Chain A
């Protein structure tokens, strides 16, 4: 099954506008946030205009409809990930999802499987986005646990040669990204999950860059927790997902406490509602969750395998075309294997911010900087990179526009 990019683009109203004095919008920043199709914009709008009420409370029709819409979205997301409904927790972002797990672990009392002490270790990788590094770094600091990590090799892959020394009997949690937001590298989860489970550690997967782009099935991956953000998956901002295995979510203490996450409350005590409510304190981002449901439905209808196939083909084309530019250094896997449609690069001695500015003048939107992965930039020995990230609405003409703009930047800054 495949789809027509031209048809897909018609679903996204933003492509009707032009940029920088009438230029066609070449949007290559989906790694930061994806554009939104009408079905998502309409779903969110319709929730507000027809069904708005606080979910799980209120003895009226609107409250029933709002709850149905919200819980319906949960069921859609669960199916999208191959999970059970009660394993899906709506958060405000993937960052909040990961922090929720890290802070909840910090709240675990002695005897709880998640309780951390100075004799435990937490394992991350050098290619993590700050959102999947700092929560663990700080949890280690608060508990005295040791923070360990897998290094990134110059070929942009994780060095797992010392996996048995990094993940040991003392390891309680292994937090790893599915796909690097800078390099595009897709990590070999099987080996990491196998070793983590051997020693009784849980695996927390940052799936922000994978869930929007490929079929991700939590049962098949056998990870223990997974986080992704709605807005990178053509959904609204303000909604993220935390998935966890039901038995683990039962044992994990809550992070945010307050309304709607309780079972019984006295002035001095409280007991918790069952999952997922235990992790959804307060009135949630309802319209956004409903919008995310519409987004997952939209992606499923196109087919996640079709999206992945499209991106593999486009990445192959981009790597080939971009490699032909003199002075370019692609910071990420050069071969189109186990990598996503994110291509970071440097271009001779032109600073990424200047490249970004020039290509923007040609209608091409890219991201520049360290992409919230500062330790990775240091490991790859680049102060910053320019990043083009492709998605379902991009095609070869967008790659061509990027390449032409990069050649233009070389000419523009080569004047002096």
Chain B
């Protein structure tokens, strides 16, 4: 079923067992993003030390795609430099814009390539990107902070 390409097991697993959920009081930037079409919300605390992401924590409510996506993102960018994280975000954004034509680079995106199926559902791309756009925002703010 087409639907299975959207709801991959890894995605539902992250949804049921979200990683890095619960906001840490230590952060260099805090951002809140909302998907205005459905009301999904994510607040994200990012801590950057010497250009390295030392912690990323979040809280929010939303559909399986938006929540699993931010959970996987948190795993992926922890301990990365801001430049490495930027490359990951770019790669993920390209995958989401691919309308089902790309499979994603596992070298860069690791498990997050499972979101390739989401790009076939235009209504869900915004869900998948919600946490990533929040992170991008927080990373830009932290750049100023940590330098």
Contact = CB atoms under 8 A, between A and B. Distances in A.
Interface of A: 20-21, 351-354, 357-358, 361, 368-370, 374, 377, 383-384, 412-413, 415-416
Contacts of B121: 357
B3 A358 contact: yes
Interface of B: 1-3, 6-7, 9, 12-13, 15-16, 37-41, 61-65, 121, 123-124, 127
Contact of A370 (B1, B16, B39): B39
Name the residue in B3, B41, B63 with the highest tally of chain A Cβ atoms < 10 Å from its Cβ.
B63
Contact of A383 (B3, B39, B124): B39
A384 B39 contact: yes
B39 A412 contact: no
A383 B61 contact: yes
Contacts, number: 54
A49 B74 CA distance: 58
Nearest to B15: A416
A20 B120 CA distance: 13
A413 B9 CA distance: 10
A374 B37 CA distance: 11
Nearest to B121: A357
Nearest to A370: B39
Q: Is the contact region of chain B dominated by helix, strand, or loop, or is it mixed?
A: helix
A353 B121 CA distance: 12
Nearest to B34: A374
Contacts of B13: 416
Contact of A369 (B1, B38, B64): B38
A347 B1 CA distance: 23
Nearest to B38: A369
27 contacts: A351-B62, A351-B63, A352-B38, A352-B63, A353-B63, A353-B65, A353-B124, A354-B63, A357-B3, A357-B6, A357-B121, A357-B124, A358-B3, A361-B1, A361-B2, A368-B38, A369-B37, A369-B39, A374-B39, A377-B39, A383-B39, A413-B64, A415-B12, A416-B12, A416-B13, A416-B15, A416-B16
Given A370-B38, A413-B64, 4 more contacts: A361-B2, A368-B38, A369-B39, A412-B3
Per CB-CB distance, the 9 closest pairs between chain A and chain B, nearest first, are: A353-B63, A351-B63, A369-B38, A370-B39, A361-B3, A416-B12, A384-B39, A383-B61, A354-B64
